[in-house]
Amino acid sequence: MDPQLAPALKTLLVVPAGKRVPEPERLWTPPVKSTGTAMVRAMERVEEISAFGLGRVNLSSVSVSVNRLNTPAR
């Protein structure tokens, strides 16, 4: 794992001033409606999550069920 990844993820645990939840809660919360605006926000969330470079983490030894992979896709 990239040594810079852990400090970057640690910053997500801080609740920003004026907010009620930490950033991961916002990133984990899926859109409730299928409106155009909700889909734009969802794509913005994908962009934010991609910025962490989690693709650099080797998950080849992790076993994930097909159902767990399909659920986020919905």
SS3 content of the chain, % helix, strand, coil (to 5): 55, 0, 45
pTM: 0.41
Coil vs helix vs strand at 9? helix
Tell me the per-residue pLDDT of 6-47, one tens digit each, with 9 for 90 and over: 888 788 788 888 988 887 787 777 777 778 888 788 788 788
pLDDT at position 58, please?
66
Per-residue pLDDT at 74 exceeds 70: no
